[in-house]
């Protein structure tokens, strides 16, 4: 996909050249200076006249009129060099690639060195550009009848740089792996629920595990019954589709120690059960397995990058349906851990599925836990649609998750978790816990419930109900699934320190 050159002349004829430009630049350097010379100084003149702008996000498309091997040049503003960083470069590159795709370019070139700045190294720029390429050009094909007009895809990207070629190639590879895995998560979330059942998700995980030589375990209903997974089985009671508990294990150390457990909610569709959702709220519930998708996306990156860390991924998967057999409010169920749960709301089903998954991850040796789930509408009320909610029982572990999320450009905001929150989820007259203490602090109550099963194990909860999907296009994607937390989880594993 990416080819690296240290001379503009080595590239074959290309349809567009992408150039970043910082504010206060009065002339061009490197490969863009070579292009300017071929165009008899016209690019410098356009820069002076303001036709080419360095303002962050501003783009200009210049046709070369056959005077060089590139048909057009896309300039993208990077803003002030002192404030530009990895994320702003990635967004700018994403916008440029989108413009190249809209222009029906089948090939592109990038002047990598034009993106290097005070806070952006050559490796940073390469990673940002290749990740942006994957994310920005993503498209979920869907199920419409095919148009007679074929869609244009950018099939090759030439990267020109004076930086160390091996380092550039390595960073391009990493960025593309991260972007492509995020797109894999997006694909899973975008699939309609009749085409992604719990078993379908399990088969996807199996293929992933076979590709990367992970240890694979997939439990069916009978195995779950023997193990006492009463919480997940309760959610599944109303469904004709059998549940699955999916486990993938990656061993990056000689000994199976310091294991990170990644637990992803895999509810393939959520009606709310007998606590039925309103019609408007039920549309889009195919995305209720976005936590599972993020975990599988992260495992794809782990499989490619092979970090020196042990990881167990655990995904409880079912749908939450209504039938004569469905579980109901006032039921009391027993989780795998032995704790009893009074069901006050069947639409608070994700935390039940995660309860057994967290317990099972611990049985597989997880010494650290991160659960990822579209858990509550309350987190959207609290934090909006661009911030993931987080809770923890361990400060140092949370700091590592926070750093990974910042590096990935997937921001999280910590919610409180106190002894009073513990008291509320333990407030049942007939069981150890209740699954829905009330609307007040709804997002916190969901996380506090899961914490009862993490117990003393260092744990971070990520509620992605607001960030798993988006209603608008951005520089790095389209409306629909975002693949959020895929990169955060992978970076956490890569950077993890005991």
| C-beta neighbour count of 195 within 10 angstroms | 10
Sorting pLDDT into bands at 50, 70 and 90, what band is 15?
confident
Residue 305: both structure tokens together = 């990058």
Q: What pLDDT score was predicted for residue 199? A: 98
- Of 132, 151, 182, the one marking the end of a domain is 182
Q: Using the structure block, give the residue that is written with the tokens 């194990």.
A: 457
Q: What angle do CA 207, 212, 213 make, to 5 degrees?
A: 95
Q: Do 69 and 206 share a domain, yes or no?
A: no
Looking at 22-31, 91-100, 137-146, 366-375, which range is the least confident one?
22-31
Which residues, other chains included, contact 148 with Cβ-Cβ below 8 Å and sequence gap of 6+? none
Looking at 7-11, 82-86, 94-98, which range is the least confident one?
7-11
Phi and psi of 460, rounded to 5°? -130, 135
Provide the 3-class DSSP secondary structure of residue 312. Answer: strand
Per DSSP bridges, beta strands 433-434 and 340-342 are parallel
CATH code where residue 403 lies: 3.40.630.10
Residue 188: inside a domain, yes or no? Answer: no
Residue 292: inside a domain, yes or no? Answer: yes
- Greater confidence (196 vs 31) lies with 196
Q: Do 236 and 354 share a domain, yes or no?
A: yes
pLDDT at 295 over 60: yes
Residue 392: inside a domain, yes or no? Answer: yes
Q: What angle do CA 189, 1, 163 make, to 5 degrees?
A: 115
Residue of 58, 71, 169, 277 marked active site: 277
Q: Do 282 and 320 share a domain, yes or no?
A: yes
Percentage of residues of the chain with pLDDT beyond 70: 97
Residue 190: inside a domain, yes or no? Answer: no
Q: What angle do CA 163, 166, 170 make, to 5 degrees?
A: 105
Strand order in the sheet with 2-5: 2-5, 156-160, 107-111, 14-22, 70-79, 59-63
Q: Do 82 and 215 share a domain, yes or no?
A: no
Convert the pLDDT of each residue in 380-396 to its tens digit: 999 999 999 999 999 99
Q: How many domains does the chain have?
A: 2
Q: Do 202 and 59 share a domain, yes or no?
A: no
Q: Do 433 and 457 share a domain, yes or no?
A: yes
Convert the pLDDT of each residue in 163-180 to its tens digit: 999 999 999 999 999 999
Mean pLDDT over 75-97 rounds to: 96
Q: How many whole angstroms from its chain centre is CA 114?
A: 28
Question: Are 435 and 341 in contact, with CB atoms under 8 Å apart?
Answer: yes
Mean pLDDT over 216-227 rounds to: 98
Q: What is the DSSP string of 264-293?
A: E-EEEEE--TTSPPPHHHHTTGGGGGHHHH
- Is residue 414 part of the annotated active site? The answer reads no
Residue 390: both structure tokens together = 């987080």
Looking at every residue in the chain, the average pLDDT score rounds to: 94
pLDDT at 38 over 90: no
Q: Do 209 and 116 share a domain, yes or no?
A: no
Question: Please, which residues bridge with residue 247 across strands?
Answer: 217, 314
Residue of 186, 351, 362, 487 marked active site: 351
Per DSSP bridges, beta strands 469-470 and 259-264 are unpaired
Provide the 3-class DSSP secondary structure of residue 328. Answer: coil
Residue 492: both structure tokens together = 């956490």
Which residues, other chains included, contact 363 with Cβ-Cβ below 8 Å and sequence gap of 6+? none
User: Using CA atoms, how far apart are residues 444 and 465, in angstroms rounded to an integer?
Assistant: 13
Question: Are 287 and 369 in contact, with CB atoms under 8 Å apart?
Answer: no
Q: Do 312 and 446 share a domain, yes or no?
A: yes
Residue 64: inside a domain, yes or no? Answer: yes
Q: Do 32 and 63 share a domain, yes or no?
A: yes
Q: Do 169 and 39 share a domain, yes or no?
A: yes
Q: Do 134 and 282 share a domain, yes or no?
A: no
Enumerate the H helices of 59-158 as residue ranges.
86-102, 122-136
Convert the pLDDT of each residue in 51-78 to its tens digit: 899 999 999 999 888 888 788 999 999 9
User: Using CA atoms, how far apart are residues 398 and 377, in angstroms rounded to an integer?
Assistant: 23
- What are the counts of helices (DSSP H) followed by strands (DSSP E) for the chain? 16, 20
Q: Which of 44, 138, 127, 139 is nearest to 93 (CA)?
A: 127
pLDDT at 14 over 50: yes
- Of 159, 182, 205, the one marking the end of a domain is 182
CATH code where residue 133 lies: 3.40.220.10
Q: What pLDDT score was predicted for residue 11? A: 47
User: Using CA atoms, how far apart are residues 206 and 398, in angstroms rounded to an integer?
Assistant: 30
Q: Do 109 and 222 share a domain, yes or no?
A: no
- Is residue 277 part of the annotated active site? The answer reads yes
Enumerate the H helices of 103-192 as residue ranges.
122-136, 165-190
The DSSP letter of residue 385 is T
pLDDT at 146 over 90: no
Q: What pLDDT score was predicted for residue 66? A: 81
CA atoms within 13 A on the CB side of 28: 27
| Domain that residue 112 falls in | 2-182
Provide the 3-class DSSP secondary structure of residue 256. Answer: coil
Residue 107: inside a domain, yes or no? Answer: yes
Residue 191: inside a domain, yes or no? Answer: no
Residue 122: inside a domain, yes or no? Answer: yes
pLDDT at 152 over 80: no
pLDDT at 148 over 70: no
């Amino acid at each position: 996909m990416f080819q690296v050159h240290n001379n503009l002349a080595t590239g074959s004829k290309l349809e567009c050249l992408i150039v970043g430009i910082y504010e206060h630049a009065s002339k061009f350097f490197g490969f863009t200076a070579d292009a300017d010379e071929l165009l008899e100084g016209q690019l410098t003149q356009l820069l002076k006249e303001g036709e080419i702008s360095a303002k962050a996000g501003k783009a200009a498309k210049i046709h070369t009129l056959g005077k060089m091997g590139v048909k057009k040049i896309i300039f993208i503003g990077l803003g002030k060099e002192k404030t530009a960083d990895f994320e702003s470069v990635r967004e700018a590159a994403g916008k440029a690639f989108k413009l190249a795709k809209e222009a029906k370019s089948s090939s592109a070139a990038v002047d990598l060195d034009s993106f290097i700045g005070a806070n952006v190294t050559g490796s940073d720029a390469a990673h940002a550009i290749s990740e942006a390429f994957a994310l920005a050009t993503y498209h979920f094909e869907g199920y419409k009848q095919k148009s007679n007009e074929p869609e244009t895809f950018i099939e090759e990207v030439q990267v020109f740089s004076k930086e160390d070629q091996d380092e550039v190639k390595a960073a391009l590879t990493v960025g593309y792996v991260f972007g492509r895995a995020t797109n894999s998560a997006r694909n899973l979330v975008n699939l309609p629920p009749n085409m992604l059942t719990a078993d379908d998700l399990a088969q996807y995980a199996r293929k992933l595990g076979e590709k990367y030589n992970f240890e694979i375990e997939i439990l069916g209903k009978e195995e779950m019954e023997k193990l006492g997974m009463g919480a997940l089985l309760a959610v599944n009671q109303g469904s004709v589709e059998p549940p699955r508990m999916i486990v993938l294990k990656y061993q990056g150390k000689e000994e199976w120690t310091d294991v990170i457990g990644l637990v992803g909610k895999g509810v393939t569709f959520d009606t709310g059960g007998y606590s039925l959702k309103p019609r408007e709220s039920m549309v889009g519930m195919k995305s209720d397995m976005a936590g599972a998708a993020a975990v599988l996306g992260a495992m794809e990156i782990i499989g490619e990058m092979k970090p020196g860390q042990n990881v167990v991924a655990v995904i409880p998967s079912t749908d939450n349906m209504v039938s004569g057999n469905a579980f109901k409010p006032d039921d009391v169920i027993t989780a795998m851990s032995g704790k009893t749960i009074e069901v006050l709301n069947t639409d608070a089903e994700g935390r039940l599925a995660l309860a057994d998954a967290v317990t099972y991850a611990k049985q597989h040796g997880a010494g650290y836990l991160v659960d990822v789930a579209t858990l509550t509408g309350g987190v959207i009320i609290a934090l909006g649609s661009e911030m993931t909610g987080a809770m923890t029982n361990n400060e140092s572990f949370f700091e590592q998750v926070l750093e990974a999320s910042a590096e990935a450009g997937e921001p999280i905001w910590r919610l409180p978790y106190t002894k009073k929150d513990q008291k509320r989820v333990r407030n049942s007259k007939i069981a150890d816990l209740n699954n829905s203490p009330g609307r007040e602090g709804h997002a916190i109550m969901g996380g506090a419930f899961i914490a009862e099963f993490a117990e003393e194990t260092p744990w971070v909860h990520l509620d992605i109900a607001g960030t798993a999907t988006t209603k608008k296009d951005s520089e790095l994607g389209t409306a629909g699934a975002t693949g959020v937390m895929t990169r955060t989880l992978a970076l956490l594993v890569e950077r993890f320190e005991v």
